[in-house]
Amino acid sequence: MDFAGRAIVITGGASGMGAAAAELLCAGNARVAIVDWDLDLAHEVARRVGARAYGADIGDEAEVRRALEAIDREVGPIDGWFSNAGILRMEQPLHDERVETWDEVIRVNLRGTFLIVREAIRRFVAQRRPGAIVCTSSCVARQAIAGGSYAYTASKGAIEAFVRQVAVDYAAQGIRVNAIAPGAIETPLMWGNTPPAAMAEMRMAIDREVPQGRIGQPGEVAHAVAWLLSDEATYVTGSSIVVDGGVGAKSVLTA
């Protein structure tokens, strides 16, 4: 896929799937702007792949606007957006979860997605040009995982509903909005709440449960994102593409 002449914004682009998408899109000749709250790491990735880096807390409206205004000046009109930034906080059981934990996750994951999509739509409408947006959801938007994160699960389910609504409302203007729903992917977020001593056992459990027998790689998600942003997906909007190694298709029952 050739993205020559196109500019793409990636939030949460300093690591994991965002960094993999930045590398892939830059290799496809796109002008890529990485937005992340870890600006030092964003600069490191940007130097490695040939992108530009900007700092922002994605749940803070003022910071988002400042970063995007700088991107407008320095990168130019944006053709594609990958709203990928998100956090995961684990607190169990529900009756012990703090409201502060819930609010933090919803602020970054859901409010942050809203802010990015709103700013993307504003620019597409003002420019009177088509464009594409991809938002990061998760397999947990559809299927619960025992012992999972309540706030994270709720935020991802809401993102998929939000994507469908925006896609329908703006389809006539040539604006496409889709979601990507990863399963277990080798990223810092995947292991952020796992004690180091438990990682080997958890990895073996994932390998047992995933039909393909392994954890996914960030680049495998990045290819799906690139496709959704490309002209090869011009008739795809309001969809959620699952990249989970077959977990969602698997029944817990056996014959």
Q: 42: domain range?
A: 7-241
pLDDT at 188: 77
- C-beta of residue 185 within 8 angstroms of C-beta of residue 224: no
Question: How much is the mean pLDDT over the chain?
Answer: 93
**Does residue 146 form part of some domain?**
yes
pLDDT at 106: 97
pLDDT at 115: 98
More confident residue, 192 or 131: 131
What is the tally of structural domains in the chain?
1
**Does residue 1 form part of some domain?**
no
Q: Is the pLDDT assigned to residue 254 strictly greater than 70?
A: no
Band (148; pLDDT cuts 50, 70, 90):
confident
**Does residue 71 form part of some domain?**
yes
Nearest to 112 by CA among 80, 81, 139, 147: 81
**Does residue 254 form part of some domain?**
no
**Does residue 255 form part of some domain?**
no
pLDDT digits (tens, 9 = 90+) for 8-58: 999 999 999 999 999 999 999 999 999 999 999 999 999 999 999 999 999
pLDDT at 163: 98
**Mean pLDDT, rounded, for 146-165:** 93
Instruction: Give the residue numbers marked as catalytic.
Output: 152
Q: How many helices (H) and strands (E) does the chain have?
A: 9, 7
**Does residue 143 form part of some domain?**
yes
**Does residue 25 form part of some domain?**
yes
- C-beta of residue 95 within 8 angstroms of C-beta of residue 101: no
Residue 155, CB half-sphere, CA atoms under 13 Å: how many? 28
Residue 62, CB half-sphere, CA atoms under 13 Å: how many? 0
User: Rounded CA gap, 166 and 192, in Å?
Assistant: 31
**Mean pLDDT, rounded, for 79-94:** 89
The residues near 54 (Cβ < 8 Å, ≥ 6 apart) are 33, 34, 35, 36, 39, 42, 67, 70, 71
What are all long-range contacts of 166-173, with beta carbons under 8 Å and residues at least 24 apart?
Answer: 166/117, 166/121, 166/133, 167/237, 167/238, 167/239, 168/238, 170/121, 170/124, 171/237, 171/238, 173/124, 173/125, 173/130
pTM confidence score: 0.94
User: Rounded CA gap, 5 and 75, in Å?
Assistant: 11
pLDDT at 90: 74
**Does residue 67 form part of some domain?**
yes
Q: What is the CATH number of the domain that holds 137?
A: 3.40.50.720
User: Rounded CA gap, 145 and 250, in Å?
Assistant: 13
User: Rounded CA gap, 80 and 182, in Å?
Assistant: 20
Residue with tokens 């793409």: 8
Question: Among 98-102, 110-114, 158-162, which is the least confidently predicted range?
Answer: 98-102
